[in-house]
Structure 1
Amino acid sequence: MAKITLQGNPLETVGNLPNTNTKAPDFNLIAGDLSEKKLSDFSGNKLILNIFPSVDTGTCATSVREFNKKAASLENTKVLCISRDLPFAQGRFCGAEGIENVVMLSDFATGDFGKHYGLEIANGPLKSLHSRCIVVVNEEGNVTYTEQVSEVVDEPNYDAALKAL
């Protein structure tokens, strides 16, 4: 399990992120139209999984905005923004912000994504939400980069994630 903090207070995750040079675990997430999306739905694309607790917080919203800007110029790449927010909240945020270059996906139904990727917060006030992470997956479905952000309120390293593509 990863040891992280929320404003300096210690938290832990249920496990660790997938290892690099391994197959990315499959997932079943819910899109804005309530359809199910699996990893295989994005096969042949490079993926940046931008994972966070809730789009209704400042840092999470900033990461979606930043990746939305950067994703516009990326070829053969999809940015998947994943949280446990309801798809309706994700859609409301994207509509209000003019977010069009990322794919919002929700793990609200089961939380299995957070468990299988080892990033669900195990204790504290954000228990059961996702910790802030980045996972980069290549066209073959292999993990090429991961970042577990150690302080939940900090932003991820955007440049390192983009370089890993």
Structure 2
Amino acid sequence: MCGIAGIAGEADELVVKDMLARIRHRGPDDTGIYATPRNHPGAKVAMGNNRLSILDLSPAGHQPTSNEDGTVWVAYNGEIYNFAELRQELENDGHRFLSHTDTEILPHLYEKYGPDMVNRLNGMFAFALWDGMAERLWLFRDRMGVKPLYYVQVGS
């Protein structure tokens, strides 16, 4: 079981690094962080993942993962049961993949369907998706809540 953590607004990569250290037991195989550049004039986000490698044990499965141009980022925990058919659909549309993980289909599905992409997923999952073009953070989890997702909003 992987662990994800993140901050939006006053995003601080070091805080996310500390958050991930506290849940290291959730994913001992790899740790990764994505953060918008400090000099970025717009909204800021930092998100990370402690990975338990199940699909694609290679470094290509590193998270957070993005689309080809780095405008959509995902930190993910779970399993998408229908990812092979979704990946095939995306490949038929011209999307290219670097790994064999179910995670990597998520930014591409978002490019195609927007937030409604979650309705196409069959599985158990929780993930954060950062749309850098829209400067919007989305949080998704499976319909039954098998994978936990906790969040807090401070202030407005």
Same fold (TM over 0.5): no
When normalised by structure 2's length, the TM-score is 0.32
When normalised by structure 1's length, the TM-score is 0.31
